[in-house]
Amino acid sequence: MKRARQQDVSSELKKAFKFVLLFLALSLPAYLVLERLSLLNYIAAYSSAWLLQNLFSLPTIVVEGYSHPFLSLQGFMVEIIDLCSGKIEIALMFGFLFASFEKSLSYRIKGFLVGLFLLLVFNAVRIAFTVQSFASNSLGVSAFFHDVLFRVSLVLFLVTYYALWYYYDLPRKTTLLATSSPRKRRKR
């Protein structure tokens, strides 16, 4: 009994180690590729500008900068740098979804595409609320949105999305396993 338990723990540790190695092997190169793309900066800029105009009635123009786009509104400009674009979060999400080797490849691909869309929407909303709070001269609120909620909300988003994605598949697998294999009763 004790030996079987030790083997179970050893097996689980091997799975965890494999997950961490795959996560690092996938997320680091993904970030290096994303880091070179300015497309995500422009997606964040244009989607945030749209939200600022349509939710807060703040006339906003996207201005091309040398390396990053800017949002121009009411006498000030906001630079959409790489940290604002969601590149780090996308690379992390790519890493942990595709490192979940026990899930099918099609499930991981679908999960990544849905997560990417939700992350880009969430990021645009976060940027729009931060800029709107700055535009309304609430510097303390703006600093809070930018410095605290930026980091906390994106980490919470990633953890929550991964948990929902990972456990969404489990009830279906349990149901499929229960219906496909007859249960054997133990004699007592």
Going from N- to C-terminal start, the domains of the chain cover 18-176
Q: What is the pLDDT of residue 66?
A: 83
Q: What is the mean pLDDT of residues 167-176?
A: 66
Band of residue 129 on the pLDDT scale cut at 50, 70, 90: confident
Comparing 41-50, 56-65, 90-99, 147-156, which segment has the lowest mean pLDDT?
147-156
**Could you tell me the pTM of the whole model?**
0.81
Mapping DSSP to helix (H, G, I), strand (E, B) and coil, where does residue 4 land? helix
Helices (H), the chain: 2-35, 39-55, 82-85, 87-98, 105-135, 139-143, 150-180
pLDDT digits (tens, 9 = 90+) for 22-40: 999 999 999 999 999 999 9
